[in-house]
Amino acid sequence: MIRDAEIENTIRVFATPLLEAAGLEPSSIRIHIVNDNTLNAFVAGGQQIFINTGLLMKSKNAGQVIGVLAHEIGHISGGHLIKAATAQKDISAAVLLGYLLGGAAIIAGRPDAGAAAIQLGGQVGARQYMSFSRTQESAADRAGLRFLDNTGQSAKGLLEFMEVLEDQELLSVRNQDPYVRTHPLTRDRIDSLRHHLEKSRLTDKPITNSYRVSHARMKAKLIGFTQGLTRTLRAYPENSNTLDGQYARAIAYYRQPNLKKAIGLIDTLIAKFPNDAYFHELKGQIYFENGKLKLALPSYQKSVDLLPESAILKAQLAHAQVEMAGVDPNNRSLLTQAVENLLYSVDKDADRPSVWRQLGIAYGRLGKMGESSRALAEEAILQGRSRDAIGIAERAKKLLRRGSPDWLRAEDIITAARENLKNKK
């Protein structure tokens, strides 16, 4: 997974109007960015949307990403995950029947008939699921089109994305992107989208400038972080003075590393856009990862001042504060500030083990060993280290006031960890 405040915020801005049109509470939907170059997006585990970096980087415009989001939100609003679980049980029954019949035939001395029965069971199961899946895909398309219409957005991007997938249908299964395999494509689906666009008054409605800029920045950031300097310069040559071009090159040079060029480029962007939190964040990250803590802190602080509600930005600032306090052990105020920022971050997003670890370190350096152990127990259970979680939480209970919120949470961790160990047996 990739955690990035700007990319997550961009996807959420794209998704929020669609979620509201679907009657879903935007804050209840989790959005995950998967670090994978293949073209894929899917919903899983309830109200969670997963989008591959490959899909974001291959998208030509914001409309394509928004179209995919509308489709995936169609799956959530249609309750397709629950229906899929039922369908998979039915498929398993068909496959199991094939194995039972095949096994009986083999025992009876007919291995050829047994193999055929087993294969038939698999084929029946596959046909059943593909039929079910095609039905759900069409339903998600229809829902997605409705959400796009209700939010005054063109469905052209969704059609463009489907046309990209249509070309992949000709490839062997091994060479297809996962989206094609998990979202069966049919001529009827594409024809339906084209028919909708022929009638829609929104077909030629342009993408808003803010969406266009956000999409370009998102792509530039992903390319700069994941594609290396050579590929980044191919996509954004040195003579490209666009915002996204400078952004991508600043990231690519910092990753090389070429600190002088990276800082020069990001300073140029900050001079043009002094109130852009993400440019200050990147400058802080460049300095932090090159061991220049004193220079990193003001940039991280500026990013938080500009976006005080970002849990990710506050966690990054806190990490720098904890590291700086390690260099200057007498500066307890830095640790106090770090704890405040980390508590805010875990309150907003409690599923990040690294943030709990930083909180454990900060509390430990402040001499609050009970709170430190409780935070480190949170880290352990999130990482699946159930035995460690039990031991650390037991230590926390001995150090904390009995019945306090932290003591009760340590109890909960022990119970959950024991249940995890029980389920593994």
| DSSP-derived 3-state class of residue 68 | helix
Structural domain boundaries, residue 54: 5-87+122-199
Cα gap 371→392, rounded to integer Å: 11
- Reply yes or no: is the peptide bond before residue 257 cis, omega within 30 of 0: yes
Given a cut of 70, is residue 86 above it in pLDDT?
Answer: no
Cα 117 to chain centroid distance, Å, stands at 42
Assign 221 a pLDDT band (cuts: 50, 70, 90): very high
Q: Where are the alpha helices (DSSP H) in 177-236?
A: 178-182, 187-199, 209-226, 228-235
Cα gap 399→177, rounded to integer Å: 52
**CA-to-CA dists, residue 380 to 210, 289, 315, 414, angstroms:** 41, 25, 18, 11
Inter-residue contact 311 to 344 (CB < 8 Å)? yes
Q: Has residue 361 been placed in a domain?
A: no
Q: Has residue 49 been placed in a domain?
A: yes
Q: Has residue 289 been placed in a domain?
A: no
The pLDDT assigned to 169 comes to 56
Tell me the mean pLDDT in the region 99-128: 43
Inter-residue contact 77 to 23 (CB < 8 Å)? yes
Assign 94 a pLDDT band (cuts: 50, 70, 90): very low
Q: Has residue 177 been placed in a domain?
A: yes
Cα gap 393→118, rounded to integer Å: 50
Q: Has residue 68 been placed in a domain?
A: yes
Cα 67 to chain centroid distance, Å, stands at 17
Tell me the mean pLDDT in the region 327-353: 93
Higher pLDDT: 391 or 97? It is 391
| DSSP-derived 3-state class of residue 30 | strand
What's the structural domain count of the chain? 1
Tell me the mean pLDDT in the region 125-137: 51
Q: Has residue 57 been placed in a domain?
A: yes
Given a cut of 70, is residue 195 above it in pLDDT?
Answer: yes
Residue 158, domain CATH: 3.30.2010.10
pTM for this predicted structure: 0.83
Q: Which residue has the tokens 């899917």?
A: 42
Assign 270 a pLDDT band (cuts: 50, 70, 90): very high
Most confident of the ranges 114-123, 177-186, 326-335: 326-335
Edge-to-edge strand list for the sheet holding 41-43:
30-34, 48-52, 41-43
One-letter identity of residue 80:
H
Cα gap 23→6, rounded to integer Å: 25
Q: Has residue 302 been placed in a domain?
A: no
The pLDDT assigned to 190 comes to 87
Facing residues of 31 across strands? 49
Cα gap 8→6, rounded to integer Å: 6
Average pLDDT, the chain: 86
The burial class, CB within 10 Å (0-12 / 13-18 / 19+), for 301 is middle
Percent residues over pLDDT 90 in the chain? 70
Inter-residue contact 379 to 360 (CB < 8 Å)? yes
52 membership: H or E segment, kind and range: strand 48-52
Residue length, the chain? Answer: 425
Q: Which two tokens stand for residue 395?
A: 């230590």
Q: Has residue 96 been placed in a domain?
A: no
